[in-house]
Amino acid sequence: MNPDTHALAGAYAVNAVTEDERASFETHLEQCPDCRAEVAELRAAAATLTSDVEVTPPPALRASVLSAISQTRQLSPLVETTGTRNPPGTPEASPSSVAAPAQDAPVVDELAARRGRRLQPWLAGVAAAAVIGVATLAWQPWDDADTGQQVTATEQVLRAEDAQRLEQPMGASEIAIVRSPSMKQAVFVADAMPTPPAGRAYQLWFDVPGLGMVSAGMIPTSNATVAVMLKGDASAATGAGITLEPETGSEHPTSDPVALFTFA
Amino acid sequence: MVVMAAVGSGDTSLPTAAMGPDLVALLTRAARGDEAAFAELYDATASRLHGLVVRVVRDRAQSEEVTQDAYLDIWRHCTRYDPAKGSPLSWMMTIAHRKAVDRVRSAEASKAREVTYEATTVDREHDSTLEQVEVRLDQQRVRRALASLTDTQRGAVELAYLGGHTHTEVAALLDIPLGTAKTRIRDGLIRLRDTLEVTA
Ligand SMILES: [Zn+2]
């Protein structure tokens, strides 16, 4: 490996990198245990820089945080099939199984578990942009209480019986594509997508056999949660991707993907 | 109070006595959905995380949003916390720092688009915020560690970590070659790590 690549470990550890640098360094981190260890150590060292700075947030913030978490679902743990974090009695994964709340009984196939291991650096807080091609596959029924209200088209896909959720980290946020083969539709969901550079926006693509990457629409720029239906037939696609494009969108991808999803 | 010993734990090189609550245990319970444990975790760490966020973001209202956002992220992701990769506090500080940096950069991006944005309010906020920053007195060890950095290393590390600048921006600010800023940041952090004997 180019020694110059390792040299970015310090800047990366303190988030002093651009999104592009972050993405490429994280590809490097996947295969460089030295840099992973160094990043963790340098982060701990950096944290001491403000060890003399304590600012007590207002009590209202505490109340607000605690109220928010009570309404916020936690991510499913990434389960290693041979690992110790797999709770006893976890059922074997099966595409048709409908999981209890994922926190208690994660439904993850072996491939996803392998991918999960590769995601570990990020999970430990080596905050990562999308690591290409390592989406975690889980069949994820939404455990939100059904309010009985009319649901949008987007929600219908999210709640579909056969909805498959492919999630992966992108920066500090978690992005996911939820696809329902029976509805032939897919929805992109994210909270707090990294802000694209000025004049640019994230564009969604379906990977369609014979056609290649076909535009599936733009992701609106927002700090809040985004849920956007992908345009096109999701059942015909074998995967999806996201690239940075001019705000008006492109006919074909003009940059390397920042995220790729492979449909099962 | 979370003393700085907690920074290095995962770690056995720093004393763990008188360190306050066991953050690993709290995080483990929180990962199982235990909101009371998360509240304890918040109480044990909020002033450190918020202190960091305020240092980077400066604006008080925005800092509060960022800190809240960080804790929500910690809640969502604590199911996936891996002690092998860092102490709980280091992990949480990393999340808060990333959120803070994202905030100042997106603010800059939108400022670049809307030139009309007034920065004066930010300055005023900045001053009132600084009044609330409590400086702890028992920080000799960290001060000694910081003193072991060269001035140029310390400058680069602080611009990057506290200023929220990329290494490219640090190079421009210090008027030094690109690779030099990258090296100074890394060397400075390594020196800090070695002096403090922090492990992840
Ligand atoms: Zn490396």
Residue A174: pLDDT band by 50, 70, 90 thresholds?
A: confident
Domain that holds residue B148: 127-199
Distance to chain B for A111, nearest Cα, Å: 18
Q: How far are the Cα atoms of A40, A241, B166, B175, B188 from residue B171, in angstroms, in the given order?
A: 24, 34, 9, 6, 15
Binning pLDDT at 50, 70 and 90, where does residue A2 land? low
Task: Look at A78 and B55 and tell me if their CB atoms are within 8 Å.
Answer: no
Distances (CA, A) of B175 to B60, B156, B167, B183: 31, 11, 12, 14
Instruction: Say whether both B102 and B155 belong to one domain.
Output: no
- Residue B99 and residue B132 in one domain: no
Name the pLDDT band for A113 (thresholds 50, 70, 90).
very low
Fold that domain A1-71 belongs to in CATH = Arc Repressor Mutant, subunit A (1.10.10)
List, as ranges, residues 215-234 from A with C-beta within 8 Å of B: 223
Check residues B131 and A172 and name the one with the higher pLDDT. Answer: A172
Q: Can you give the CATH number for the domain in which B53 is found?
A: 1.10.1740.10
The arithmetic mean of pLDDT across residues A156-183, rounded, is: 79
Q: Inter-chain contact B48–A66, Cβ cutoff 8 Å?
A: no
Report the residue of chain A nearest B166, measured CA to CA.
A16
* Cβ of residue A61 closer than 8 Å to a chain B Cβ: yes
The residue among A129 and B107 whose pLDDT is bigger is B107
Query: Mean pLDDT in chain A?
Result: 72
Check residue A80 and give its pLDDT. Answer: 55
Q: How confident is the model at residue B199 (pLDDT cuts 50, 70, 90)?
A: low
B69 domain-assigned:
yes
Does the predicted interface ipTM exceed a cut of 0.85? no
Picking from B91, B162, B192, the nearest residue to A45 by CB comes out as B192
User: Cα angle vertex A159, ends A157, A163, to 5°?
Assistant: 65
What's the CA dihedral at B108, B113, B115, B119 to 10 degrees?
-20
In a shared domain, residues B137 and B99: no
Question: Does residue B117 belong to any structural domain of this protein?
Answer: no
Which DSSP string do the residues of A116-161 spell out, in sequence order? Answer: HHHHHHHHTT---SPPTT-PEEE-----SPP--S---HHHHHHT-T
Q: Same domain for B107 and B131?
A: no
pLDDT band at A223; cut points 50, 70, 90: low
Ramachandran quadrant class, B164 (left: phi over 0; alpha: psi -120 to 50; beta: rest): left
Calculate how close chain A gets to B175, using CA atoms only, in Å: 17
Q: Do B75 and A9 touch (CB under 8 A)?
A: no
Residue of A47, A52, A197 lying closest to B89 (CB–CB): A47
pLDDT the model gives residue B159: 95
Q: What is the CATH number of the domain that holds B145?
A: 1.10.10.10
Whether B118 maps to a domain, the answer reads no
In chain A, what residues touch B106 (CB-CB under 8 Å)? 195, 223
DSSP A78: P
Burial of A28 (0-12, 13-18, 19+ CB in 10 A): middle
Q: Is the pLDDT of residue A210 over 90?
A: no
Query: For residue A247, what are the contacts with CB-CB under 8 A and spacing of at least 6?
Result: A199, A200, A201, A218
The answer on B67 and B33 residing in a single domain is: yes
For every residue of A8-56, which 3-state class applies, written as one string?
CHHHHHCCCCCHHHHHHHHHHHHHCHHHHHHHHHHHHHHHHHHCCEECC
For chain A, the structural domain boundaries read 1-71, 106-262
Structure tokens at B24: 């690993």
Q: What is the pLDDT of residue B8?
A: 36
Distance A85 CA to ligand 1 centre (A): 28
This prediction has a pTM of 0.56
**Interface with B, mutate which of A55, A64, A70, A76 (most B CBs under 10 A):** A55
A8 interaction partners in chain B (CB closer than 8 Å): 167, 182, 186
Q: Name the residue of chain A whose CA is nearest to B72's CA.
A: A69
B98 and B142 housed in the same domain: no
- In this predicted structure, what is the pLDDT of residue B174? 94
Q: Do A46 and B75 touch (CB under 8 A)?
A: no
Which of A48, A78, A194 is nearest residue B145 as measured by Cβ atoms? A48
Q: How far is B193 from chain A (nearest CA, A)?
A: 5
Residue written as token pair 């595409």: A95
- Give the pLDDT of residue B26: 95
B14 in any annotated domain: yes
Let me know whether B11 and B101 are in one domain.
yes
Tell whether B38 and B104 lie within a shared domain. yes
Q: Is B143 exposed, middle or buried (0-12, 13-18, 19+ CB in 10 A)?
A: exposed
pLDDT tens digits, B7-53: 333 333 333 333 578 999 999 999 999 999 999 999 999 999 999 99
Kindly list the residues from chain B whose CB atom is less than 8 angstroms away from the CB atom of residue A174.
Answer: 76
Count of domains in chain B? 2
Do residues B14 and B105 share a domain? yes
pLDDT above 90 for A232: no
Whether residue B78 is predicted with pLDDT greater than 90 in this model: the reply is yes
Residues 176-215 of A with CB under 8 A from B: 192, 194-195, 197-198
How far is it, in rounded angstroms, from Cα A6 to Cα B188? 15
Q: Which residues of B touch A123 (CB under 8 A)?
A: 77, 80-82, 85
> In chain B, which ranges are continuous DSSP H helix?
23-31, 35-57, 60-77, 88-113, 120-132, 140-147, 151-161, 167-174, 178-196
Q: Do A44 and B90 lie within an 8 Å CB cutoff?
A: yes
| Residue of A21, A70, A174 lying closest to B35 (CB–CB) | A70
pLDDT digits (tens, 9 = 90+) for A12-55: 999 999 999 999 999 999 899 999 999 999 999 999 889 888 99
Residues in chain B: 200
Distances (CA, A) of B16 to A5, B12, B135: 35, 8, 22
Cβ of B67 within 8 Å of Cβ of A69? The answer is no
Q: Which amino acid is at A218?
A: M
Span B91-106, average pLDDT:
95
Same domain? For B107 and B143 the reply is no
B138 vs A226, which has greater pLDDT? A226
pLDDT tier, A175 (very low <50, low <70, confident <90, very high otherwise): confident
